[in-house]
Chains A and B, each alone.
Chain A
Amino acid sequence: MNKTLAARVQPQVKTKRRGKLSKYLYLLPAAALIIGVIGYPVARALVLSLFDYNPLGGGKTFVGFGNYAAILSDRVFRKAMGNSAFWTFGCVFLQVVFGLLGAVLLNQNFKGRGLVRGLTLIPWATPSVLAAMMWMWILDGNYGVLNDLLKKAGLIAQPVPWISQTGTAMPSLMLIDLWQGIPYFAVMLLAALQTVPGDLLEAAKLDGAGPWKAFWKVVFPLIVPTLMITTILRIVWTASYMDLMMVVTQGGPAYSTLTIPMDAYYTAYSDLKFGEATAMAGVQAILLLIVVVIYLRLMSRQGALDHGK
């Protein structure tokens, strides 16, 4: 944007001083809110994990790392950890792949693009209780639409009890999460695609690059920063997302869909052991921290952390 060069006294010093102070002002409101609303409860929860605490009274007893020891030696919790890993990485991987494809599709020019963009977003904007109930019926082992269609297509002989078998219950939930999650990636990556300069792409095509090569060599590197941040956050959110399990399988059958947050929920509200429950969340936080640290290292090596500078 061109501004006519006005003969102004440029108070360099003034800007610098104001710059130093005002940069904190930019950050302060957000920081204050986050520390107050999230930081404090998280700190309290972490402290609580060192105690034995029945939320319905009876006081607190300090047990140090006793809770952590107890849960890590619990067969059920260890199974939950494995389930959490499978669930988290499985869901996010599939969503990244399909979300990227979706973003590319929505970036093309076609009639009715606006409407299509709006419609494909709807699964992401569906409250999870509704998504869970809907899909529970679509996947139903007796009246489910999916079974009916598969049977009519000749792919199966008898309806499959998708959520009643240990082998298919978790993949069924992953399907529902995939349905919900593709638009998230599609929207984020679509936004990132808008920042790819048009003439850069033209230049690549003129150089003789086919659309596939042009995409990977030119476009993809530019959207990697956004891709990385949306992915890492999706991993973190998915780890704690348990609404689907709550409504559809309650962690079953036979613990096959029990993830760490579900185990924590039952431990807190059914077993009334809040200390152990927060210890479970603590373990998850540590594991996620490791993942995030590795991830951020990768990102900074990609130059994705300080791209603009």
Chain B
Amino acid sequence: MKGKAIAKPIIGKGRALLALLIIASLLAACGAKSESKEGSSAQPSESGNKESAAKTVVNYWYWLDDASNNTMEELIQKFNQSHPDIQVVGRMIPFSDYQQTLINSYSTNALPDAARFKDWWIGQFTENKLLEPLDEYTKNWEYRGDIDDVFWNTGRTADPNSPVYMMPHQYITFYLYYRKDLFEQANLQPPKTFDEFLNAAKKLTDPSKQRYGFAYRGGSGGQDQWYAFMLAGGARMVDDQGNIVINNEKAVEVNNWYLDLFRKYKVAPPTAISDSYAQLMAGFQAGTTAMMAHHIGSYETLHKALGDKLGVVPMPQADPAHPATMGTMTGNVMFSSSKNKEATWTFLSWLSGPEATDILSKSTNGQLPVLKSLTSKPEYQSRNEGWKVALESEKFAHVWPPLKGVGTIAGHTWKDNSDLALFNKIDSKQMLDEIAKALQEK
């Protein structure tokens, strides 16, 4: 046999045969039904599953922020146990490859029934009706009123008659972390206005000690923080009539101020242009930066690392009488290609209900629940400083407009133009013009 002939010279006759046998049997073992971990429900959905022939299979994809925390799997198991006629099969995909995987799956008709989703992507996926409108289902949902309209709206497109496409689930709002210890040392109060913010940043910057006032996120993902500051500065992406105004005079001014934090006032580390989430967290924890704009998703980690040194306040505002900050919604969508819509709805509605949301929100994979019945509970209100400020900020948070171009901006357009502007290769207006162009893409 040729196989043996080749393997022989390398690892010897008997061992070659043994190796072949072992590998063949392991492969066979893999292709067949796999052993379950604590009776988990996550089985490969491709292989025929005789015992669930009577059950409706619902495929649900999601990402996890903290891979070592199995809350989502546990929730799926819980659901399967309490709903014997439905089998939800979960698939976890790393976040950085999530959108790409969805796109690849769509073009090969392999989309799941439902998936965790971000509001940024709604524009792209609704252009050709990939998402199932949910109004018919939510009409009679018992918890419909428990969620504010402002949250339902995050699941609609820009069309005024748009149905809801995404079940709102977990929300985040941008606020400002600050180092209480560093502020105390410098005898400063946490900032409420843009001027106070800049002032504090300048006072806390000392390059010789490798200390900077503000953790400027110029790297990937920085568009969220940028948008938060733009909103807080009084700029808007679209006006009430739906016109794109991100490149108007006001916006250019705010953008210029923001860029100058790095360019002119130098209150940000020199690495800011490539700093992304990991670098921001590292800098803030090490005390290299004194202020950082982020959201509840990082609170647990920072609190664990910094304890009392961690302070949280709402985003500083250019005009405190009219506050604004950025919010973004993570929700769940049903794909119009699903063949088991009723069962999928049963799962999604359960997932969005108080029981499941409560469990998820309290885990390291959770953020702010959108159910009023939960957020009004004292255990949420007074959970910790971060939650308090985050919930407060919900009142004046704006999300990204549901336009197709948002996906492009989040993908690379914001960063490309921000880079050029930070290096003074283009100015504030040119940068915003490019962003406006992307938003106008049909």
Which residues of A approach B to under 8 Å, CB–CB? 54-58, 76, 136, 140-143, 158-159, 161, 163-164, 166, 169, 249-255, 266, 269-272
Contact = CB atoms under 8 A, between A and B. Distances in A.
Most buried by B among A136, A159, A266, A271: A271
25 contacts: A56-B103, A56-B125, A57-B130, A58-B127, A76-B416, A136-B278, A140-B282, A141-B269, A141-B271, A142-B210, A142-B269, A142-B271, A142-B282, A142-B283, A142-B288, A143-B282, A143-B288, A164-B275, A249-B274, A250-B219, A252-B416, A252-B419, A253-B419, A255-B419, A272-B103
B411 A266 contact: yes
A31 B407 CA distance: 40
B103 A251 contact: no
Contacts of B411: 266, 269-271
Contacts of A136: 278
A269 B103 contact: yes
B273 A252 contact: yes
Contacts of A159: 210
B47 interface: no
B100 interface: yes
B389 to A, nearest CB: 27
A56 B130 contact: yes
Most buried by B among A143, A164, A251: A164
Contacts of A56: 103, 106-107, 124-125, 127-128, 130
Contacts of B83: none
A166 B272 contact: no
A271 B124 CA distance: 10
Contacts of A143: 282, 286, 288
Interface string B91-116: 00000000110011011000000000
Contacts of B219: 250, 252
A166 B288 contact: no
A272 B103 CA distance: 9
B83 to A, nearest CB: 31
Contact of A163 (B274, B278, B283, B422): B274
Contacts of B130: 56-57
B238 interface: no
Nearest to A144: B271
A54 B126 CA distance: 13
A163 B269 CA distance: 13
Given A57-B106, A254-B425, A141 B270 contact: yes
B412 A270 contact: yes
A96 to B, nearest CB: 27
B396 interface: no
B274 A161 contact: yes
Nearest to B411: A270
Given A56-B125, A270-B408, A272-B407, A253 B274 contact: yes
Contact of A55 (B106, B269, B271): B106
A183 B129 CA distance: 49
Interface in B268-305: 269-275, 278-279, 282-283, 286, 288
Contact of B407 (A164, A252, A254, A270): A270
B124 A255 contact: no
A55 B107 contact: yes
B415 interface: yes
Nearest to A136: B278
B419 to A, nearest CB: 4
Contacts of A141: 269-271
B423 interface: yes
B220 interface: yes
Contacts of B124: 56, 272
Given A142-B283, A269-B100, A271-B411, A253 B128 contact: no
B420 interface: yes
B99 A269 contact: yes
B271 A164 contact: yes
A164 B106 contact: no
A251 B412 contact: yes
Contacts of A164: 270-275
Nearest to A257: B274
Given A55-B103, A269-B103, A252 B415 contact: yes
A261 B279 CA distance: 26
B47 to A, nearest CB: 22
A298 to B, nearest CB: 31
Contacts of B419: 252-255
B274 A252 contact: yes
B271 A140 contact: yes
A254 B274 CA distance: 10
Nearest to A263: B412
A250 B415 contact: yes
A261 to B, nearest CB: 14
Contacts of B103: 55-56, 269, 272
A229 to B, nearest CB: 20
Nearest to A274: B107
A199 to B, nearest CB: 23
A141 B278 CA distance: 13
Contacts of B107: 55-56
Interface in B43-101: 99-100
Interface in B193-210: 207, 210
A25 to B, nearest CB: 11
Contacts of A158: 207
Contacts of B273: 164, 252-253
Nearest to A252: B419
